[in-house]
Amino acid sequence: MIGVTNDSKIVKGVQHKQCSRCKRFKPLDEFYKFERGSFGVMSICKECIKQYELRRREIRQKRCNDRYRNDPEYRERKKQKSREWNKAHPEQSKEWRKNHLERFREYQREYKREYRRKYQREYQKEWRRTHPEHLNKYRRKKKGEHE
Ligand SMILES: [Zn+2]
């Protein structure tokens, strides 16, 4: 996906190059150095590389998780490895667990909040659907107040 493009222009006296991914013109210091590329930089801007790396990491993580779920042998191997690591690094392991636990709790809190919000909305919708007479009464009353 890394190709050489010659799309460039000068904006306010600064050489800009077009990122071949996001198609935006950016100054050269927004690109990583790459000797063989045009202007000595890569054809993809730093931001896009970051996105790309992030995406790749996500995919890798997801693949790992899927495998962990579906491949008992892999799961055992992973567990074994982490047991060994824990034994070899008892202090770091404790620290990691603590950090991990905090993150996990934070995640749980966030999830619960989100769930409650969603649930409440659904509940209200459902209630309105099953109690149309209440809604009409409320509307009539409100209308009456304004008249
Ligand atoms: Zn870009």
pLDDT at 3: 42
Give the pLDDT confidence of 78-111 residue by residue, as tens digits: 999 999 999 999 988 888 888 889 889 999 999 9
CA of residue 90 to ligand 1 center, whole Å? 43
Give the pLDDT confidence of 37-85 residue by residue, as tens digits: 888 999 999 999 999 999 999 999 999 999 999 999 999 999 999 999 9
Give the pLDDT confidence of 12-35 residue by residue, as tens digits: 889 999 999 999 999 999 999 999
CA of residue 41 to ligand 1 center, whole Å? 13
CA of residue 30 to ligand 1 center, whole Å? 9
Query: What pLDDT band is residue 145 in, cutting at 50, 70 and 90?
Result: low
CA of residue 141 to ligand 1 center, whole Å? 57
CA of residue 57 to ligand 1 center, whole Å? 18
State how far the alpha carbon of 72 is from the alpha carbons of 80, 85, 120, in Å: 12, 20, 39
Spatial separation of the C-alpha atoms in residues 57 and 72, rounded to whole Å: 23
CA of residue 43 to ligand 1 center, whole Å? 8
CA of residue 21 to ligand 1 center, whole Å? 5
